[in-house]
Structure formats: structure tokens, C-alpha cells
Amino acid sequence: MTSKENLLKTLNHEEPDRLVVDFGATPVTGIHVLLVEKLRAHFGLERRPLKVIEPYQMLGEVDIELQEAMGVDVIGVSPPSDMFGNRLEGWKEYRTSWGQEVLVPGSFTVKIDENGDTVLYPQGDASVDPSAKMPSAAYFFDAIKRQGAIDDSKLNPEDNLEEFSLMSDSDVAYWKESTGKVAGIGLGLVANFGGTAVGDIALVPGMSLKNPKGIRDVADWYMSTLMRSDYLHQVFEKQTDIALENLALAKEATGDSVDVVFICGTDFGTQDSSFCSTEAYDELYAPYYKKLNNWIHENTRWKTFKHSCGAVEPFMEHFIESGFDIINPVQVNAAGMDPKLLKEKYGKRLTFWGGGADTQKVLPFGTPEEVRVHVLK
């Protein structure tokens, strides 16, 4: 069977010919650009500057050439702009702080600050405050807090909706063209249309906005889930309405070419606990996930993909009730996340997307043989 057929069998809980493999199709299954360079060298592929397709995590492009070498079965299509508002075009060379020559979008603009750290500007506009920083010894960016003191009497939900808007005609044309290019190559297709990530903490700081308003500090946002839940409901309700209109436009543009749609990367788990209770999830998040997932299942053949790191076993039934088909990853070193038990308990209703390898202890600190044995297991 083709890679696409194997993916569809897996998603429908049927036995595929082989294990389906994804590297690089989504923002949460990508590979750092330095590792992409090393992988290309390992497989004897041409050495050249590689595109950084997601600068926040400095993810490198896993192109068709590398996909074939690695036996990858899935390809992804992402929005035309990155998380900092840079259009993914006009690629130019850039030398990273670790000395790698890469390609970045034409409007990608950074400076070195007084501490030797790299700061990055939203939409390439160096006349406003930077929205992210990469410490000199780091390999990816962190959001910079740009929120002032919160005045509850002046909070306006529209301020936290600035980055959510209806697709333009050019956006629709982009999705039609970009999915059309890869629809017939025999790979499974994952689309990240954007705008559906209700409460994703990585997006809260508004790193693509020049002057973000509203609640944009991570700590304030988490506290607001308890202190300002009415406000967040208003934000989520409007965001979901916009997302549903965009999903209809995306469906019209892409037809039946898409197999999976990336919904969100909103994390609910910590290493041994969670950011909120399952009751809080049901009250604040689930209603909007259900609206999105229900529309998708009623109007398309897409499967819906949710990312959440950490100890989220208690949330699995709630994810299922919310309509999610796919959960990523399986963080085996977090509490309660035994892959065998997860498969036995939820495997007929959820597809687990993302290897269960221990990336915090075994991968960085184990010997090559220990890593090999662990990954195969």
C-alpha cells in the first residue's frame, strides 16, 4: 500500500502494512535545523543551507529528498507566514549563533542585544519592541513579555482576537495551490490551517503582533483561566466562530486532498500533574473543541489532531468526548503515560501520533545502544 493508504488504515484503527512515520509534517513533529543538517549528511544528501520553516523552535525543512531517505509517510502544509508574521518567501542566508548557515524568510529581522542574545522582531519591523529572544547559548527562541499591567475595567476581548481573521482570497488561493502540489505523491497530508488553537500558551504572547493588547503574559493567562474565565469564554467563542468560517473556506479550497487537520498544541500536562482539572477543561475548553471537531466530522473526511505534552492520561476520555481523533505525543516519562496501558484503554478510539521514546532522559543521556533498544521498544 502507499504511505497515504497506510496512514488512513492507521487512523481508522485497521492494521497497516507497516508503522506509519512522520517527521516534519506539523509544528510538534518537526526536527531542529541543526539535526536536519546532520541527518542529510548521514544519508549522503547534498550539503546546502537549509530552510528554517518555523523559527520559534528553529525547525528545519524535511524535504522530499530527506523524507524518502528516512521512509517518511506524511507531508505537512502550513500557513503562508510563520509565528512572527514573516511570509515564508524571499529566502535569505543567515548564520546562527552556533555557526550554521541556514535560510530564513526575507523579512526575518534580528539584532544582537547588549547581553549577546539574539532578539527577533515581529513582521521584521525593528522600529517596535522585539517579540522573542534566543539566549546566546540556546538553540531556539523564547517569547518576550510585552504586556503591561492589566486593568480589568478596560479589558476588551477584541484585544486578544487581533491575530484571528477571515482568510483572504490570496490565503484561499495559497491553500489550494500548496495542497494541490503534494496531493498526488502518495503521502498522507496534514494541514495546519491555523486559528483553531484555543488557548495555546505558545500563541498567547502574540509574537506576530507589533503591539499586542489584552492578556499576553503567560502567567497572567494561566491565572485568568480561573480569575477571568468569562473573558476567556468571549475570546474563545469569537475565535471559534472565525475558525469555523475559515475551515469552510479551507474545505472548499482543498477538497478531499487533506487527511488530517492540526487543531492545536494547547498543553494540559506537566511532568507529574496538569495545568488544570478535567472539570476546568470541560468547562472552559471542551465546548469550543467540540464545535470545531463536530463541524469537521460532519463536513469533511479529515481526522483531527491535538497535541498535549505531559501527564494527560486523565484527560484522554475528555479528549475523545471533545471529538479528537489523534493525540500527540506519548510522553512516557510523565506520570501515568504508560504506552501499553494507553493503547489498551484508548487505542480503539484514539490514534497516538508521536513515538513514545523518552526524549528527556534516555535520548540525551543514554548510550547509543541504550537509545537504540529504547526506541525499538
Neighbours of 13 (CB within 10 A): 12
Q: What is the DSSP letter of 285?
A: I
User: Looking at residue 148, what is its pLDDT?
Assistant: 86
C-alpha cell at 264: 492545536
Per-residue model confidence as pLDDT tens digits over 301-345: 999 999 999 999 999 999 999 999 999 999 999 999 999 999 999
Dist. CA 48–CA 8, nearest whole Å: 34
* 277-289 confidence digits (pLDDT tens): 999 999 999 999 9
The closest of 243, 242, 282, 248 to 263, measured between CA atoms, is 243
pLDDT reported for residue 356: 78
Q: What is the pLDDT of residues 205-226, one digit of tens each?
A: 999 999 999 999 999 999 999 9
- Please compute the mean of the pLDDT values over residues 18-31 and round it to a whole number: 95
The overall average pLDDT reported for the chain is 96
Task: Sort residue 35 into left (φ over 0), alpha (ψ -120 to 50) or beta.
Answer: alpha
Q: Is it the case that residue 297 has pLDDT exceeding 80?
A: yes
Nearest to 281 by CA among 242, 309, 322, 311: 322
Share of the chain above pLDDT 70, in %: 100
Distance between CA atoms of residues 325 and 305, nearest Å: 6
Residue 254, pLDDT > 80, answer: yes
CA–CA dist 83, 86 (Å, integer): 7
Mean pLDDT to the nearest integer, 197-210: 95
Q: What is the pLDDT of residue 126?
A: 98
Q: Is the pLDDT of residue 359 over 90?
A: no
**Angle at which helices 169-182 and 229-254 pack, to 10 degrees?**
60
Please state whether 353 falls in left (phi above 0), alpha (psi between -120 and 50) or beta.
beta
- d(C-alpha 31, C-alpha 37), whole Å: 10
Determine contact, residues 309/271, Cβ cutoff 8 Å. Answer: no
Q: How many CA atoms lie within 13 A of 29 on its CB side?
A: 29
User: For 131-170, b where at least 16 C-beta lie within 10 A, e where not — what string?
Assistant: bbbbeeeebebebeebbeebeeeebebeebbeebeebeee
Q: Give the pLDDT of residue 235.
A: 98
Q: What percent of the chain has pLDDT over 90?
A: 95
Cell numbers 527577533 label which residue? 120
Annotate 62-86 with DSSP letters as a single string: --HHHHHHHT--EEEE--SB-TTS-
Residue with cell 491565572: 223
Average pLDDT over residues 175-185: 95
